Structure 1
Amino acid sequence: MTSTVDAAEIAKFQAMAAEWWDPNGKFKPLHMLGPCRLDYITTQIAGEFDRDLDDAAPFSGLRLLDIGCGGGLLSEPMARLGATVVGVDAAGDSIPVAQAHAAQSGLAIDYRHTSAEALIEAGEPPFDVILNMEVVEHVADPLAYLTACQRLLRPGGLMICSTINRNPKSYLVAIVGAERVMRWLPRGTHDWAKFITPDELFALLQEAGMEPVDRTGLVFDPVTWSWSLSERDLSVNYVTASVKPV
């Protein structure tokens, strides 16, 4: 298969790999966003697979792929909730960081320096859940990439995919605000032209063989300095859930 990995995009994250677990470093926005993302992810998985989040290990028996796992910010909580987690990233420098932190945390997570296409070619068994967070805006071919992810899901499997909307507001917030004013991220981390609107992402997911079932905004409040979920405001960051037909 043709790889959808964009070498220029990967180089950006290679340069920041050592800072994944620094809450005040270059990945500060993801640390701040973490609780909000986890709320959405756990609710969607629990609803789709009829799991009780009050159980000690509600995701026990579920095989989960965290693609674009970085340092493991989402892989670790999924493992703590009982899922069998495979975390993959095309930025190889992130994998040792993720492995070391998981070992320190006493978590067994299968981290690999690879891509969705390579997993397919290697005959990887299908997953119940794929977390595809803040990746699709960094790949060379979004449709080919999402199609590869769909092939890695079992029928009835769930994919959660987040990205950034493309409009004047997202340029001001994600590019000007986050990179130039707040300096949360190095300049050039994001390319506004590669942002994807919610309607475009739904269409891509459908063309890739998925059935979109939800889309929700992730909204930052500069007054309370916190993130929240919104059914109405998808103007900048947003997350979707889609299911592979049985």
Structure 2
Amino acid sequence: MPLNQNITPAEIEKFSQHAQQWWDENGPLKTLHQVNPVRLAWISEHINLQQARVIDVGCGGGILTEALARAGAHATGLDMAADSIEIAKLHALAHHLPITYHVNTAEQMAEEAAHTFDAVTCMEMLEHVPDPASVIQACAKMVKTGGTVFFSTLNRHPKALALGIVAAEYLLNWIPKGTHQYKTFIKPSELAQYARLAGLEVIDVRGIAYHPWRDKQAPFVTTHDTDVNYMMACRKN
């Protein structure tokens, strides 16, 4: 697939519609704010973020990107939704965070910045592109030898359909309706295979679970149950 064609315009438009609401912690994207501490803590288990060069692929409005920067990383954000990137730039500027943002595909960025980063994060993005394997290859190309690539996505499992779409989008209104399509979900075994083909070694797989009795601002925890949302850490050897 050509470098500039691994995108779905409808997916970009979907997130562009919510560009002004990226930083509303009680808005339609609030679950991204709620899950962010769990992601950052998990990433920090595997790498020292102080002075690390990290690129956040599919960064949207910069929620994780800013968390990486606040943790001490030299952070770069990458997304094809120009409206979201503009919001990310303005928010970083307002909070005096020296983050670099690009409107670009992962594949093109990999050509321009191969073997550049100590770590790559690609969270909740793979299920929104036509060819996730291509993005995984690009992430592997961007990271240095010995570096770490972090993915998160949804499992193509009946429980993910029930909880990730029916409940989250239609019953509880946690996320905007139509955010996900079940057929684009990726099984952990498939993601691991894509990673290995890209020259990456899987070093950790962790699920994410919702515990409503916890702190309202941080109700998510890591778990060994990967049936719904899960994260995968890979090392480039």
Shift in alpha-carbon separation, 1:213–1:45, aligned structure 2, 3 A: same
Matched, 1:196 2:186: yes
Query: Within 2, Cα distance between the matches of 1:121 and 1:199?
Result: 27
TM-score when normalising by structure 2: 0.93
Which residue is equivalent to 2:226?
A: 234
Please give the secondary structure, in 1, of the residue aligned with 2:166.
helix
Q: 44, 58, 61: which is aligned to 1:68?
A: 58
Query: Within 2, Cα distance between the matches of 1:76 and 1:142?
Result: 24
Q: 13, 17, 20: which is aligned to 1:18?
A: 20
What does residue range 95-244 of structure 1 map to in structure 2 within 5 Å? 95-123=85-113, 126-224=116-214, 226-230=219-223, 232-244=224-236
Query: Within 1, Cα distance between the matches of 2:206 and 2:174?
Result: 23
TM-score when normalising by structure 1: 0.90
Which residue is equivalent to 1:49?
A: none
Gaps of 5+ in 1: 47-57
Query: Within 1, Cα distance between the matches of 2:16 and 2:118?
Result: 29
Query: Within 2, Cα distance between the matches of 1:145 and 1:122?
Result: 15
Shift of 1:123: 4.6
RMSD: 1.4
Shift of 1:36: 1.1
Alignment deviations for residues 152-172 of structure 1 (CA, whole Å, 9 cap, x no partner): 111111001000111111101
Identical aligned residues as a percent? 40
Alignment deviations for residues 58-84 of structure 1 (CA, whole Å, 9 cap, x no partner): 511x21101111111111121122211
Q: How many residues align?
A: 232
Gaps of 5+ in 2: none
Which residue is equivalent to 1:55?
A: none
Query: Within 2, Cα distance between the matches of 1:144 and 1:113?
Result: 18
Moved more, 74-83 or 129-138: 74-83
Matched, 1:80 2:73: no
Alignment deviations for residues 122-161 of structure 1 (CA, whole Å, 9 cap, x no partner): 3556111001100111111011111111111111110010
Shift of 1:32: 1.2
Shift of 1:107: 0.7
Query: Within 2, Cα distance between the matches of 1:177 and 1:106?
Result: 38
